[in-house]
Amino acid sequence: MNTKEIKRNNTFRNFFPYLILLVIIGATLFILNMGNNTVHELKTGELIQALKNEEVTEIVITPKSNESIYVVEGKLKDYKDNESFSVKVIEAEIGDITTYAAEKDIKEYETNSDPGSSPVLYIIVQVLPLVLLAVMAYVLFSKLANSNKGSMDFGKSRAKLSDDKHQAKFSDVAGLKEEKEEVKELIDFLKNPKKFQKLGARIPKGVLLVGPPGTGKTLLARAVAGEANVPFFYISGSDFVELFVGVGASRVREMFKDAKRSAPCLIFIDEIDAVGRERGTGLGGGHDEREQTLNQLLTEMDGFGENEGIIIMAATNRPDVLDPALLRPGRFDRQVTVSLPDSNEREAILKVHAKNKILAPDVNLKNLSLRTPGFSGADLENLLNEAALLAVRRDKNAITMDEIDEATDRVLMGPAKVSRKITDKEKRLVAIHESGHAVIGIKLEDANEVHKITIIPRGVAGGYTMMLPREEKIAIMTKKELEAQITGLLGGRVSEEMFLGEITTGASDDFKKATNIARAMVTEYGMSDLGPVQYEQKSEGVFLGRDYGKTKNFSDKVAHEIDEEVRKIVEECYEKAKEILKNNKDLVNILADALVEHETLTKEQIDSLVTTGKYLTAEEIDAAKELEELREEAKEKKIKNYAKMSKEELEKAIDEAEE
């Protein structure tokens, strides 16, 4: 319904009460007026005598429909305005009355036609009201049926059948090489189940996709159905759970009934932890509706045969809370872990999402993939989309690295608060703080590499230092690397204390992260004098919050020793940060001065400040890169004294060497 129709309906709805009020007032006045009129009932002879005596001034003759009776109404000379007479006359006597009325030449004399003699009038009077009643009844019952439509099919399956036109393929799924190999045999089974039946092979009934959000679990399931060219039923775990007990179980039955009719097919249940959580746990006991739904799902998965052509895939990022009965052989007996992409996979994902975007020549997706460790596929898609929006906002014809850099910061920290007023003192304080972090990263061997420093506020942070791993590796860290992380986090506070002579609240989040790392080293990783013992382990309850989710297997004495070890690690890292910054005071001041003046430093500018103490603009950095490339080319061509040549001399020497 458009806006005009809505306004028209509102106008009619507002005007309707006043219309009803007018009708009531009119009817009341009419009834009152009718009550003041006086009607005299005369006999036929009295009417004829009055006609002979010329006492009748008005007369109206109306035949009754389908009856041989006429009603004669009118007025006599001595009647008042509100008086009249009425006479019922049979058909045999009406002729005398009409004759006398014509002879006496009465001024107001009228004879109405018989309603029964007009087919149109008969239809209007007799048939039309019945038709109107039938139409009104039909409209009323139709509206009632539509309003109750949803209430009658609440037990039906909510699983939707994907459109064939939008089926994904493996070519649409960048990365996930090992994960694709894991599910390829499912595609072969869906295409040709007889091949497996011949050898007695049992294909898993259910495949559980486990991994962080945004890693492509749903897309992988769609690609399996698309490659096998089979129907794809998809539903969310929350679509099963309802207020009324038994509704979810009914929907599970209906879903499997529909799937059996469409076999071979694939059923995908997203966020299965919404319905598949472990039964009988939590502070509040069980949930009858959810548990009955889970029981029905378990029963249905046992109910169909091994080679009926139905594969169930489900996705979750919380496999630890799933009911053990779901994960036993015969149900979800295969788990495929969909991890965060590495640099090569990130590059492939960026290429997929960059297909419909116009990128400037300076955009290098390989370099961008190296700068985005820890990004999921959804994060990378959002990154390029944010960059495209920024390019449109800036009226550019292509997406440049400036937009991609800004989009990266927006995804990580939020939009820059450029309109916020910052005092010179606060700017200097933030610059000193961030320079402390950066110098630790530059000078400490096992620390992460510094890629960017900024004092522009973003989110709740007054500034930040982007530090990325020097090389990407699997999720294993050494004790030295963890200590380097703690030292880097403490560098901001040490820098404030050493160069400003005061401390601020800006390091509170740094302390929180450093303490968590140190405590994990002591209680989980066995990296302290307490030995290789795990004192705490993450065990989040199904219905409990995170604060209640750690199991502690130690006494109060050991708790005190743990606190002492955590303090010892943090204090040692604090002293190490002091030593590094004390030996590099000039570098801290150089970086802080550059930040106060320019607010943001890139990796190339940081390297220039570290090596030469000079700040380079973007144009100077590009010129330096070009000069370095020319020197590398001259080196390959064995040109003498190439390191001392200018750009023009190198270009001339290279041209001569080629000739």
Residue 503, SS3 per DSSP: coil
Cα–Cα distance between 568 and 16 in angstroms, integer?
81
Can you list the pairs that 414-417 forms with residues at least 24 positions away whose Cβ atoms lie under 8 Å?
414/458, 414/459, 415/458, 416/456, 416/457, 416/458, 417/456, 417/457, 417/458
CB neighbour burial string for 345-370, b if at least 16 within 10 angstroms, e if fewer? bbbbbbebbbeeeebeeebebeebbb
Radius of gyration of the chain (CA): 45
- List Cβ neighbours of 585 (8 Å cut-off, separation of 6 or more): 498, 499
Q: Give me the phi and psi of 357, to 5 degrees please.
A: -120, 150
Q: What is the 3-state secondary structure (H, E, C) of 13-82?
A: HHHHHHHHHHHHHHHHHHHHHHHHCEEEECCHHHHHHHHHCCCEEEEEEEECCCCCEEEEEEEECCCCCC
Identify whether 63 is preceded by a cis peptide bond (ω within 30 of 0).
no
Please give the structure tokens belonging to residue 115: 């309603």
93 is catalytic: no
Residue given tokens 């009914």 in the structure block: 250
Beta-sheet pairing, 265-270 with 232-236 = parallel
Residue 185's DSSP bridge partners are none
Range list of β-strands (E), 276-381: 310-316, 332-337
Q: Three-class SS of residue 207?
A: strand
| C-alpha closest to that of 266 among 225, 316, 207 | 225
Helix, strand, coil abundance in the chain, percent, nearest 5: 55, 15, 30
φ and ψ at residue 641, rounded to 5 degrees: 55, 30
- Beta bridge partners, 464, equal 454
Q: Which of 227, 271, 406, 434 is catalytic?
A: 434
Residue 138 tokens, joined? 């039909």
Dist. CA 426–CA 585, nearest whole Å: 20
Strand, coil or helix: 600: strand
Burial 486-509 (b: 16+ CB within 10 A, else e): bbbbbbbbbbbbbbeeeebebbee
Residue 211 carries which side chain, given as an amino acid letter?
Answer: G
Name the residues annotated as catalytic: 434
